Amino acid sequence: MKPQDIQIIRELAKQVAEIAALPKQEETRTLWRKLNGKQPERPMIMMDQICWHELNVNDELTLRCQSDELRAWEQTLRRTLYQWRHFPVDMVVEDFVRVPLAVHGTYFGPGVEETLAVTDEANDVLSHYYTNQFNSMDDLEKIKMPHVTHDETETKRRLALAEELFGGILGIRTGSGDQYGADISIWDPISTWMGVEGALYGLIDQPEMMRAMAQKLVDGYMSVFDQMEEQGLLCSPQSLIHCTGAWTDELPGKNFDPARPTTKDLWGYGLAQMFSTVSPAMFDEYEIQMCMPLFERFGLIYYGCCDPLDRKMNEVRKISNLRKVSMSPWASKTIGAEQIGKDYVFSFKPNPAYVASNTFDEELIRKDLLETKQICEKFGCPLEMTLKDISTVVYQPQRLKRWAEIAMEVAQSWER
């Protein structure tokens, strides 16, 4: 590593540390804790999954390190600083960095056979057409049970590097992102092995094969979590869970051992996006009942993503440790809020198309957010609003800043 690279990282880390030391960070954590405890002061606002390739109009995001490994750290630091300066909403800048553990062997075996469609070479959001690799029960042999291993030597090297880069400036914690070990999705990987269309036809034409496939993934996830617990590879506490604040007074659990966290100390999040068009009964059979052993082993559950759940809350409510429910742009806000009530956090996902259209309509954005706020006030729903899946702002980064300003104005007008 070149000395100038290390200097770049340390200078950026100092800027992050100054922001992390502001009293506002703990004030915002407190607001998240209140929301996640279902006693919110106001709606919380987040922005994530951002089209970073369109935002570097003034060189704030230009990477200057030569080492690939240090460029990865530099990118994280520059993006944190950029978001804080331009559209912070209710983000929290932590006073530490997370160093990924060198964990291997968590995958199930089958590769992905796909065709990609690219509309913007600079954008990492792509369209995928997946080839169906599962046509009979015999094909299930392609799915292998994961065997988790930890390369302790590599983890020590990473920690030593982090100490050289951040020592005396930011704290250092092990982890692999805030959501490490928390993803409970059996149908996302299946959709990449079969294609969404192939998997949906499979549910109709080959239900026995699909149940067996789903069960293999559930067994595999259970094994992964068991192995990670045994080896002390789970990391807590979490800062984020599925693009929202994870701060809570309820986790970690009462038997928490910092050296060996368990899934009971963590949020888990579940989703079955390709089930948007299946019946509530099929959703219950193939997703909720199938994944229940996974849901139950976590401390708290955030459920849903882009899948509309407004008419499937009877099934989602069966998750006993459920705390947040995603309400996508394709869900009825009124039906969803009436079903959620005061029992769970209404995790609203505003439509990212509103910042991606040829015309940026501020009144449409304000109307959408105000309507959501008023509906949740009516039914007493704790509310968070997360703008995510932002694949483009048509190279007009000021749109994100303006969306953030409007969203915070709406949040501050909350009537309890």
HEC string of 21-82?
A: CCHHHHHHHHHHHHHHCCCCCCCEEEECCCCHHHCCCCCCCCCCCCCHHHHHHHHHHHHHHH
Amino acid 13: pLDDT: 98
In the chain, the percentage of residues whose pLDDT exceeds 90 is 87
Query: Could you tell me the two tokens for 145?
Result: 């049970």
Amino acid 110: pLDDT: 84
Q: Count the residues in the chain.
A: 416
Count of Cβ atoms closer than 10 Å to residue 95 Cβ? 14
What is the four-CA torsion angle of 21, 22, 24, 28, rounded to 10 degrees? -20
Count of Cβ atoms closer than 10 Å to residue 317 Cβ? 16
Helix axes 187-194, 196-205, angle to 10 degrees: 100
Q: What predicted TM-score, i.e. pTM, was given to this entire model?
A: 0.94
Overall fold of domain 3-412: TIM Barrel (3.20.20)
Task: For residue 217, give the nearest of 134, 316, 309, 328 by alpha carbon.
Answer: 134
At residue 161, what is the residue type? L
Query: Could you tell me the two tokens for 142?
Result: 């392609």
Beta strand segments in 74-214, E:
96-99, 103-104, 114-117, 127-130, 149-150, 171-174, 183-184
**Average pLDDT, stretch 165-188?**
80
Query: Could you tell me the two tokens for 199?
Result: 């998997």
Burial class (CB in 10 A: 0-12, 13-18, 19+), 321: middle
d(CA 248, CA 256): 14
Task: For residue 100, give the nearest of 134, 55, 145, 69 by alpha carbon.
Answer: 69
In tens, the pLDDT along 94-152 reads 999 999 999 999 888 888 887 888 777 777 777 888 899 999 999 999 999 999 999 99
Give the CA diameter of the chain.
61
The answer to whether the beta carbons of residues 2 and 156 sit under 8 Å apart is no
Amino acid 126: pLDDT: 76
The answer to whether the beta carbons of residues 318 and 301 sit under 8 Å apart is no
384: pLDDT strictly greater than 70: yes
Amino acid 64: pLDDT: 97
**Average pLDDT, stretch 75-84?**
98
Ordered by start, the domain boundaries in the chain are 3-412
Query: Could you tell me the two tokens for 207?
Result: 């239900």
d(CA 13, CA 7): 10
In tens, the pLDDT along 196-228 reads 999 999 999 999 999 999 999 999 999 999 999
